[in-house]
Structure 1
Amino acid sequence: MEQFLIFISGGQEFALEIKNISKIIEYIEPQRIPEASSFVQGVIPYNNSVLPVISLSARLYGTSESAIKDKNVIIAIWKEKEIGFVVEDIKGIITIEDTDIEMSNKDFRISKDYIMGYIKKNDEIIVILDINKIFTLDQEVELLEINEQIN
């Protein structure tokens, strides 16, 4: 059995393993970073430090969730550092049996590396994201450089 945090981004339900989640906070308007990628919303103050904030919708779909009023920030552990993911809504935490998870099929043409698998819940399909594969190598380098500059 595994626990997942279920949330909405881009109108789609996603899941992250709970072991990668540090905290969920209300959305704070980030301070923009010059010349950052479009999915990097900026940085916010967090725990006597500064936290990079990523628009998950912009990263995955190239769109923004700016029209959503009550956004949340998922504070997650990525590359042994904390990073914030802006999402539209938090659905909750669920415990799933391994048999309820369908692993990503490499032969399926629209599958991406960052999709770890799928949870079938009633008539819905929830996409499980692999937090360590959400970004391309160039994006990882950019985020790690931002993290170095601000901390």
Structure 2
Amino acid sequence: MSELQVVIFDLKGQLFGAETSQVFQIIKYSVPEKMPKIPKFIEGIISYRDTVLPVINLAKRFEMGETAVTKKTKILVTRIDDKYAGFIVSDVTEIARFAEEDVSVTPPVMNRETEAYMKKVGRKGDKLISIVDLHRILTEAEIKKLSV
């Protein structure tokens, strides 16, 4: 029996998850430097490990509106191909293991854009957690634009 290990995070009161294999690091929020002519869901860039890290606002990307920055706000760092990217989340609540029988494929009610990255749903008690594929949240064209 296989298990799925997931970083569970809060985004405006809704729980989401990402496979731990896709989360390179969880860091404290720091205010990104704004950049001109970038998509509205990209907040800007921060310095990260001697490189520049583009920071994506997941709430805006998921069309959930603005998200307030608090002491609990974190950035999930992932590596997409040879580039790093950071995703702003309201809070990281836990790292959990899901048994195979507690994970199912996302029902086909998503639009074409969201079904690219909303692949699975995990059940934890009476809660459903959408497990997102961090590597597919951005399109290939958007990833190329991250070369800052």
- Calculate the TM-score normalised by the size of structure 1: 0.87
Unmatched segments (≥5 aa) in structure 1: none
Q: Is the 8 A contact 1:10 1:61 kept in 2?
A: no
Matched residues, number: 143
State which of 45, 52, 55 in structure 2 corresponds to 1:53.
55
1:141 corresponds to 2:141:
yes
In the TM superposition, 1:7-46 aligns within 5 A as: 7-46=9-48
For 1:68, the aligned partner's letter is V
Q: Structure 2 CA distance, aligned partners of 1:131 and 1:30?
A: 20
Aligned-residue CA RMSD in angstroms? 1.6
Tell me, yes or no, if the aligned pair for 1:56 and 1:85 is still in contact at 8 Å.
Answer: yes
Give the C-alpha shift of residue 27 in structure 1: 0.4
SS at match of 2:65: coil
- Distance in 2 separating the partners of 1:22 and 1:68: 22
The Cα shift of 1:144 comes to 2.0
Give distance in 2, aligned partners of 1:30 and 1:68.
12
Identity %: 28
Residue aligning to 1:118: 121
Runs of 4+ residues deviating >4 angstroms: none
> Superposition pairs for residues 74-93 of structure 1, below 5 Å?
74-93=76-95
- Map of 1:99-114 to 2, 5 A cutoff? 99-106=101-108, 108=109, 112-114=115-117
Residues 22-51 of structure 1 show CA distances to partners (whole Å, capped at 9, x for unaligned) of: 111110000011011110000000001110
Task: Show structure 2 runs of 5+ residues with no match.
Answer: none
Q: In 2 relative to 1, CA 68–129 (structure 1 residues): closer, same or farther, beyond 3 Å?
A: same
